Amino acid sequence: MYEKKFNINDAISGVLVVDKPIGMTSHEVVQVIRRGTNIRRAGHTGTLDPRASGVLVILIGPAVRLSEYVAASDKRYQAVIRLGTQTDTYDGEGSVTNTRPIEVTQQRFEEELKQFIGEFEQVPPPYSAVKLQGKPAYEMAREGEPVEIQPRIINVFSLDVLEWAPPEVTVDVHCSSGTYVRSLAYDLGEKLGCGAYLSGLRRTKSGRFTLKDAIPLRKLVESFDNGEWHKYVIPAAEALSEWPAITLTNERVEAIRHGHRIPAEGQTDQMVRGITEQGELVALLEYDPQTMEYQPRKVFFS
């Protein structure tokens, strides 16, 4: 009788934080990791454009079920904005649609920049992956079809000028997930009256992970070859380390594995991580104020 051979990699669950190089899509990075780890269950938690570099969080194994929560985390970027020129893609890959003289002082730039801090509606770029009638907006734009994307609510927490060297200005952008920095550059250019596009982008933070946690993709590929890649896997429990945690006894781990609730015992955080005494992630738990119990929402091992 045929018996499936056990693959030790099937038991691995966690996070690989990659410093993505310019020129690769996020999906291509995931494919490299699937091949290198021999783990099919792998996915990123927020697309990073091919022209951008920096922090790309990859979940592997059962940890992929954390994706909806990790993807919703805040992001931080170093954005290089080029003044005086507009393109149809809002970045350097597109065709130039307009050029205007730059008559902007640093003081004026910073004053207008501050107007983009806070919660507001933003329209994604026409050349984006937003689906319209089941079709990516960029495909419609390339084919000359009219593209009308509905605005979405975003939140920009802070914007700080790092380098003032017109026609390029480097800005630190701390924002909510779903923010298009290309649209931010375009809209800022409109406010300034000179036009602008995003000429460079590096993600420095995604959720609790920063460039300090990231491994260059080249180095990670080398670790696949020498069999040392496991040392770069961050435990799944760390992916949402900003969430409160409840340490579970063995008895309660068993209860949660079978879908049973556990008493809240005075802790009333809406969502918490349930972890073992060894620090392994067991489940995400949601508080029920009526019963004063935690209900398992996602269980990560059985």
Residues with a known catalytic role: 49
**Token duo for residue 146:** 């009219």
**Burial class, 263, CB count within 10 angstroms (exposed 0-12 / middle 13-18 / buried 19+):** exposed
